[in-house]
Structure 1
Amino acid sequence: MNEFDKLIYQYRFIVGGVLIAVILTGSGLLVWEKIVQSRQSKNEAMELLEKENEALRQELSGQAKVVAGSEASVVQGESDKININTAALTDLDKIPSVGPVIAQRIIDYRNENGAFKTIEDLKKVKGIGEKTFEKISGSITAGE
C-alpha cells in the first residue's frame, strides 16, 4: 500500500461523512426550493382568485343597481306614490312609519285577501291605525 491509499483508508469515515453531508445538503436545498416555488404559486393563484372575485362583486352590484332602479320605476310609475298592491317588501319599507315587519304584514294581507280596493283598506292590517294611516296616506296609492 502506498501513502495515498493509507491516507484514504485512515480518513475513509471522514470522507464518507463529508460525501453524505454534501448529498443531504443538496437534497435539502432541492426540497426547500420546491416548497418555496409551491408557496409562490399558491400566493399567485390566491391573488388571481381575489381579483376575479372583486371583478364579479363589482359586476353583480352594478346589475343589482340596474334591477333595483328598474323595479322602483315600475312600482312607482310616474308619481312618487308607492302602489300598495304591487310594491315589494323593500319598497313598502321605504314608506314613512312602515318598517320591515309592517311591510311584511301588508304583503301577507294582500296575498290572503286580494288587492286593496282603496288605501283606507290598509287600516285592516295589524299595526296600521288611524295615526299611522294619516302619516302614510300621502305616500301610497292603491291604483285608484
Structure 2
Amino acid sequence: MSASELEQLRDRVAMLEDILGVGQSMVARLRAAFDMQPAEGRVLGMLLNRQLITKDAIYNMLYGHKPECDQPVWKSIDVVIHKVRKKLRAHDIEFVCIIGEGYTMKPEHKLKVREHLGLYEGEGDQPKQPAPFENTDFPTIALARPPRVTKVYR
C-alpha cells in the first residue's frame, strides 16, 4: 500500500469519526467542557449525532479495534454510561434508556450540550448558526416506530 493510499484511508476514517461524533476535535471539546475521560466523550458525541445508539454500537466504537482477547467485558459499557450520566446531571442534562432499543437524548438536552460547548450563537431555543463541524447532509437514522420509554434511568 502506497503512502498516498494510506493517507487517503486515514482521511476517510477521520471523516467517518466526525460523522459519528467521535472525531478527535469533538471529543476533545466534550472532554474539556464536561471533565470527561476519552470513552465518555466518545459516547456523548454519539448521543449528540444520533437519534438512538445501541450498546452494541457503543461497544464496537470503543473497543472494536482491539483484538478479541483484549476487549473488556460488556459490563464496562454500563460503567461508562453511568459516568456520562453523572457528569451531565451536574449540568441538568440527561438521556434515557429505551429498554430493548438503546439510548437516546431529547433535542432540548442536545441543545443544552451544544450551548454549553458554545456551538450556537443563538438566543433562547432557536440557534442562529449550527456548529461548523456538524454534518447536516448525513441522513438521520429513522426508527420504524417511535421509541417507547418504559423506564427512565437517571
Report the TM-score when normalising by structure 2.
0.27
Structure of greater Rg? 1
- Larger helix proportion of the pair: 1
Report the TM-score when normalising by structure 1.
0.28
